[in-house]
Structure 1
């Protein structure tokens, strides 16, 4: 026996939706040559990660083995698959392969972070392949909600693997390639050892709808609107942007793109050749001179993002454009769980202005980019894999997907982030568990999820802050301590000013302190911190975070 093994290790995207990063390896244990499929981000929220800009996968395990990393392959240009490429490039330094549209986006990200754009290599679709150590990798076209999405055909010494990426079965996706069952059957005819498969919509029991089905409903809605029409969708959904723009164009409206991401995606689609007949657009400046009933704005912010164009229009003017009573705002998108409050806030702000808002409650103006359960079954029937390994889903999605595979007589196994599988035998086995967390991009600095920075930020937000300052000379207090309050009420139960009550109790505590405490910064800090929190608890029923500043003269 050679002792070589074929391994699969998700570092992100398995047990969660977003932040995809999947490692494949082949070779002797501890000497495997590696490839990485996707390197995406997740987005922060004020409840669990306040102030964090992006959440990146923890690549510490891979970075320690970067000398064995042959290449990075990106399936498509959604942020949860490509968003971390530039942020982690310095640690990995491996060539990046992607199709033209995805490569265009990846190169822009590399340039923004000061990395060489030529580290991103453009690859053609199947049957052309890329050799990466013991792996031969081909980009197999799939339909999704962004152009030039691809599954990966990964040939290894142990047999063929297929990594589905995000996909749906759509015979008419408007932009990009249709799902080709004959091509998939041909690719699978040699036998597929394992299918790593998207699990997002495993609980949706009806067949998925085509992107082309939303066009007539959108066209009817836009044509019947008396005032200005504004529509938002995912900026990356170029097919939907085209459908919306064509609906506006046919209704005799001038099209305006608002939002950097929206313009960037359309530009990338045109430059890479996947979009050639997008209706002409006018600038926001020129739009201010056009009657509002002849305008259609396509704007960013379908998930309620505070800085996006839709939120700014809800608050008032944006680039000289303003919505008024009788106008129409369309959410041609699904609200991702966790974003509901932001979307509802925007809807209510528009409602207060007398603007009609149409969302996707009816299902007429949006279709998912992910395969529903019947489509997952169909893909399994076409590919006929020996093993099914669910990915891109929360644990409940992965578990249900395994049940689906087993109901069709196939082996399935749950492998969440950090679970290393050995795929060499007749059944997948767990080799080991890797400790993976998350990395936060906080401003321009990367911090670990366990570093305590965000934890402290949450505690400050929840509890408020008391800053206690004291000056000593020759180990004797020079005056009494004073406090500054942040995020706390001005008065407490005693009806006196909270700062004055705190300062009085702190002065008494210092007066009672012995010489040993006054000489020792640690002891004095602990005394003042405990007293500040005790007094605050008595006054306002809350223990704030307490910061003590001790200054010594002489």
Structure 2
């Protein structure tokens, strides 16, 4: 009997939506050969991660076992699956396998991060890769962008299907339709485990096709009296095509705004996936066209502050501005956590008199993820013994696991950091791994436990006082300390400027300090910090962060 085992370890994407990163391993315990499926990102918010640009899964566990990592696979080109590749590849240094369109986007990520583009290997759809103990084949699947893929992963003793993100769309517009016969055949050959998308497990109605949208969008654009602006996910090339064709059918010229959207459309065209995309015009030319004859398709459907949608809501973007009588369409869903940012844009547009249209009636957007009846159909086609839910918050994973069990499958919940042994008749928790997050902050990458974001939050919540004190050659204060206050009320209970109150209190405090405290930086700084914080509590009822700079003059 073999002592080899098949393990599954999510480092991101299980217990959350986004930041997908899934490890599979096969071999003797502790010596498994490993592969990584997806290297995604999630996006920050001002409450929990102020100032951060991107959030990625911490690869420390995998980095420590880099000598056993044989390959990285990318299932599709959404940011939450490929967005971290360029930033994290240097920590892993394994070849990256993906299909053509995804490879083109992955190469751009690597190039932007200064990483070797020749590590990206384009895999033909029909090819089976033999990598270490694995045989791996990409399986075409419908999603909201071209060439999304599930994966068939085979070991000497197991067959596993990793669904990736998918929907049951027989007419997706761009990319392959869902191939029911292919998955039926895979199920007929026997599948031990399916690791399955769980995003829409709570949606009780069958999902709708992209082909159901053009008529409603065309009618909306035809009836709009002024300028029409539509926003969607930049990577949803099929939707961008749907919007553009609807705008043209309504008699309008089309202009794409936003670098990410232009890049995606250009890349899909270069890959031969957008044969019938309508002609578009540049922004300079679009500015000369009457409003009632123009449709803009823009980035920023999730309220991103620097994207085109937010800039149009705040004022203008590339010479375009919105006014009363214009129409703004959100052809998208709002990812949980982004509601407040989207609502800011909606209200700003409303103040301008713009008519805002969303998908509350289900006319202008379809999800790229399978709803519960579609998940059930996938269960029935593949018929795995074991179902492991992925891609969803914990509530999604739990609901999907319970639903699978009610339909006769064995199931287990594995949030980030829970390693499952999938070798036997039932999944068994093999290990708990410390997982975390990495933050891209400008050009720096640091961990969640480094304390930088925590310090930033404390400054945001409590304000900052900077105190400077000079000590002369004899160890005595050279004049009084001075204080700069940031993010704090200018005056407190005394009705005097807060910095002056602090400086008066410090003058009194420093004057009575013994020589041994004045001669010890650590003790001196701590005394000053305590006095500043107690003064601020008395004056404004807050304890700010306090930074003390002590400068000593030498002989």
- The TM-score with structure 2 as length reference comes to 0.99
Query: Which position in structure 1 is the counterpart of 2:537?
Result: 537
Contact kept in structure 1, 2:219 and 2:250, CA below 8 Å = no
The one-character-per-residue Cα deviations of 1:26-77 (angstroms, maximum 9, x if unpaired) are 1111211111111100101100001111101111111111111111111100
Query: Which position in structure 2 is the counterpart of 1:172?
Result: 171
Of residues 379-388 and 207-216 in structure 1, the stretch that sits farther from structure 2 once superposed is 207-216
Query: Which position in structure 1 is the counterpart of 2:299?
Result: 300
For residue 552 of structure 2, give the secondary structure of its aligned residue in structure 1.
Answer: strand
Query: Which position in structure 1 is the counterpart of 2:405?
Result: 406
The whole-number CA distance in structure 2 between the counterparts of 1:461 and 1:226 is: 44
Query: Which position in structure 1 is the counterpart of 2:248?
Result: 249
Q: How does 1:5-84 map to 2 (within 5 A)?
A: 5-84=5-84
The whole-number CA distance in structure 1 between the counterparts of 2:195 and 2:497 is: 62
Contact kept in structure 1, 2:5 and 2:421, CA below 8 Å = yes
The one-character-per-residue Cα deviations of 1:255-281 (angstroms, maximum 9, x if unpaired) are 100000010010111111111110000
Query: Which position in structure 1 is the counterpart of 2:520?
Result: 520
The whole-number CA distance in structure 2 between the counterparts of 1:108 and 1:260 is: 13
The whole-number CA distance in structure 2 between the counterparts of 1:237 and 1:70 is: 31
Contact kept in structure 1, 2:237 and 2:265, CA below 8 Å = yes
The one-character-per-residue Cα deviations of 1:428-473 (angstroms, maximum 9, x if unpaired) are 1111111111111111111010110000000000000001111111
The one-character-per-residue Cα deviations of 1:471-499 (angstroms, maximum 9, x if unpaired) are 11121111111100000011001111111
Query: Which position in structure 1 is the counterpart of 2:275?
Result: 276
Contact kept in structure 1, 2:74 and 2:97, CA below 8 Å = yes
The whole-number CA distance in structure 2 between the counterparts of 1:316 and 1:459 is: 32
Contact kept in structure 1, 2:158 and 2:423, CA below 8 Å = no
Gaps of 5+ in 2: none
The whole-number CA distance in structure 2 between the counterparts of 1:511 and 1:115 is: 58
The whole-number CA distance in structure 1 between the counterparts of 2:418 and 2:351 is: 50
Query: Which position in structure 2 is the counterpart of 1:201?
Result: 200
Query: Which position in structure 1 is the counterpart of 2:330?
Result: 331
The whole-number CA distance in structure 2 between the counterparts of 1:78 and 1:362 is: 26
Q: How does 1:419-458 map to 2 (within 5 A)?
A: 419-458=418-457
The one-character-per-residue Cα deviations of 1:145-174 (angstroms, maximum 9, x if unpaired) are 111111000011122100000001111111
Query: Which position in structure 2 is the counterpart of 1:375?
Result: 374
The one-character-per-residue Cα deviations of 1:478-528 (angstroms, maximum 9, x if unpaired) are 111110000001100111111111111111111111111111000000000
The whole-number CA distance in structure 2 between the counterparts of 1:318 and 1:400 is: 43
Query: Which position in structure 1 is the counterpart of 2:191?
Result: 192
The whole-number CA distance in structure 1 between the counterparts of 2:287 and 2:440 is: 38
The whole-number CA distance in structure 1 between the counterparts of 2:13 and 2:365 is: 24
For residue 257 of structure 1, give the secondary structure of its aligned residue in structure 2.
Answer: strand
Q: CA deviation at 1:317?
A: 2.0
Query: Which position in structure 2 is the counterpart of 1:112?
Result: 112
The whole-number CA distance in structure 2 between the counterparts of 1:401 and 1:166 is: 15
For residue 42 of structure 2, give the secondary structure of its aligned residue in structure 1.
Answer: coil
Q: CA deviation at 1:426?
A: 1.2
The whole-number CA distance in structure 2 between the counterparts of 1:262 and 1:107 is: 17
For residue 311 of structure 1, give the secondary structure of its aligned residue in structure 2.
Answer: helix
Q: CA deviation at 1:128?
A: 2.0
For residue 506 of structure 2, give the secondary structure of its aligned residue in structure 1.
Answer: helix
Query: Which position in structure 2 is the counterpart of 1:510?
Result: 510
The one-character-per-residue Cα deviations of 1:324-347 (angstroms, maximum 9, x if unpaired) are 221111010111111112111111
Report whether the alignment pairs 1:210 with 2:209: yes
For residue 450 of structure 2, give the secondary structure of its aligned residue in structure 1.
Answer: coil
The whole-number CA distance in structure 1 between the counterparts of 2:271 and 2:465 is: 55
Give the count of matched residue pairs.
553
Contact kept in structure 1, 2:72 and 2:94, CA below 8 Å = yes
CA RMSD of aligned residues (A): 0.9
For residue 548 of structure 2, give the secondary structure of its aligned residue in structure 1.
Answer: strand
The whole-number CA distance in structure 2 between the counterparts of 1:168 and 1:92 is: 31
Report whether the alignment pairs 1:123 with 2:123: yes
Q: How does 1:231-246 map to 2 (within 5 A)?
A: 231-246=230-245
Contact kept in structure 1, 2:37 and 2:75, CA below 8 Å = yes
The one-character-per-residue Cα deviations of 1:103-122 (angstroms, maximum 9, x if unpaired) are 11001111111112121111
